[in-house]
């Protein structure tokens, strides 16, 4: 079973018996740092990068620090689980995917849009989990440009208690 199907099933089962909470992303800002971005298209478009987030026990909800390595292929493909590169004070899962291609503009090649989702157990209430999701536009830089670094700011936040 793909991780995205598993998360959908778990989220559906959990939300049926629990309260879903949404938070305005501007009320709980969090920036993630993407380093070593490399992406290209041959038969299929692919990517790999590291992503980190600095935790804060003062934010509401409190957030863990995380660091993960992500790689995958296929624009519009399902989320791929990233590999956690450090242990933190709570369980977390990082997922990434390339969003579908929106075509070319004026004959120039399109730019990839990466979407990252971080799910973690609340640092104060173990029966609650949170999911932050954000996206960024990058470029297909493999073989033609150096590795890229940029930030992703989550634009969707929800939790289940």
Determine the pLDDT at residue 109. 63
pLDDT in the model for residue 61: 85
Number of domains observed in the structure of the chain = 1
Residue 116 to residue 153: CA distance in whole angstroms: 10
Q: State the pTM of this model.
A: 0.83
Average pLDDT value over all residues in the chain: 85
Say yes or no to pLDDT of 3 above 60. Answer: no
Residue 138 and residue 148 in contact, taking contact as beta carbons nearer than 8 Å = yes
Q: What pLDDT, on the 0 to 100 scale, is given for residue 16? A: 54
Q: Determine the structural domain holding residue 17 and report its residue range.
A: 3-160
Locate the DSSP E strands across 65-153.
66-73, 80-81, 83-84, 92-98, 113-121, 129-137, 148-152
């Amino acid at each position: 079973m793909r991780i995205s199907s598993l998360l959908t099933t778990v989220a559906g089962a959990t939300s049926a018996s629990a309260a879903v909470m949404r938070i305005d992303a501007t009320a709980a800002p969090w920036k993630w740092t993407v380093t070593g971005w490399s992406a290209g298209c041959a038969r299929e478009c692919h990517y790999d990068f590291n992503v980190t987030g600095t935790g804060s026990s003062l934010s509401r909800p409190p957030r863990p620090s995380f660091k993960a390595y992500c790689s995958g292929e296929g624009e519009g493909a399902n989320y791929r689980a990233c590999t956690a590169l450090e242990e933190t004070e709570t369980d977390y899962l990082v997922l990434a995917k390339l969003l579908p291609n929106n075509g070319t503009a004026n004959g120039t090649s399109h730019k990839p849009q990466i979407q990252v989702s971080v799910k973690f157990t609340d640092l104060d209430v173990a029966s609650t989990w949170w999911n932050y999701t954000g996206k960024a536009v990058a470029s297909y830089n493999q073989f033609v440009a150096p590795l890229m670094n940029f930030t992703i700011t989550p634009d969707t936040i929800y939790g289940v208690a």
